[in-house]
Amino acid sequence: MATTTDFAKYLSRFLSEYLPHERNVSKNTMSAYRDAFVQYIDYMKSECNVPVERLYLKHLNRDNVIGYLKWIIEERHCSPATRNYRLAAMHSFVSYLQYIVVEQSEEWQKVLSIKAMRTEVKALNYLSTEGIRLLLAQPDTTTRQGRRHLAILSLMYDTGDRVQEMADLTIESARIDQEPYSIRIKGKGNRARIVPMAKEQVVILRQYMEENHLNDSNKYGNPLFFNNRHEKMTREGIAYILKTYVNMARNISPGLIPKPISCHSIRHSKAMHLLESGVNLVYVRDILGHVSIQTTDIYARADSKAKREALERAYVDLNPTSPCEWKRNKDLREWLKGYNR
């Protein structure tokens, strides 16, 4: 690296040593942090006239960070959520610096005091069980490609995987030789979890694996799903497959397929269906791979059907059987004039 400033030195160590080896963060987090600092360097050059070769840690102060966050919203037209992701990257870097460059601890604390922006809490977008059934009926299973796509979509729903988790699955992840059937998923922060699979799902997955000769022990480390070039599926590739069949299903029944539907909507759908079936929230948390039950609790709050049924079960009719007093008086105005005197 040609740049030799203290900012460059510590940022390179943060990204190449601290995050992967001490924090063990995922590649996606690394990419997000990288993008945040690329934008920060661009901001300092274009708005503060400080090119990267003259960018020092002294420039990483509260005023510049706040200016950068304002810039990405007003000039780059990023959402408040993206702004908060960029702030999280800054906070992480500064938290790292406060134990190394202690003489600037006061400034690091000022940066850490910058708050995340409030974001709109959107309603969860998910499909009903009928919507999922319609979606999974779209792939043409008379073709090899259609059978592969059905295996991808059905597994994504059955396990509630994130799209990156689907892309990262290897052949050895699937444990379908004997019951109980399960799949090993590597989630955020490289945390692994074991998710059970339904027998019906295993039938589809087993047929896919047999058709593509994936039962060879020499291939266990290979990707479970791959493209036409036999390369590992990407997030974009899986999203494209989903979009294709979502559009087909929407043309058949628009009411069952709301807009927009993403890969994460399939994950939301699985969580909601588990809750509607009475599965304990703690089990839903473990299946989805959430660290905190508070994250999973959004599904319980969003389950309007469960709320309605609970209210109906708890309802006791306490209303008076006789008509309201004012209804016995045809002249409401006169009744109101004399009421409570």
Q: Which residues are catalytic?
A: 162, 188, 264, 267, 290, 299
Q: Which of 155, 205, 199 is nearest to 181 (CA)?
A: 199
- Judge residue 53's burial from the number of C-beta atoms within 10 Å of its C-beta, 0-12 exposed, 13-18 middle, 19 or more buried: exposed
Contact 127, 261 (CB under 8 A): yes
Distance CA 14, CA 22 (A): 10
SS3 assignment, position 193: strand
Measured in Å, how far apart are the chain's first and last C-alpha atoms?
Answer: 87
> What are the helix (H) ranges across the chain?
6-13, 27-48, 62-74, 80-97, 105-112, 129-136, 144-159, 163-168, 199-211, 235-252, 263-276, 281-288, 293-302, 304-314, 332-338
| Strand-pair partners of 193 | 185
In contact, 159 and 204? CB cutoff 8 Å: no
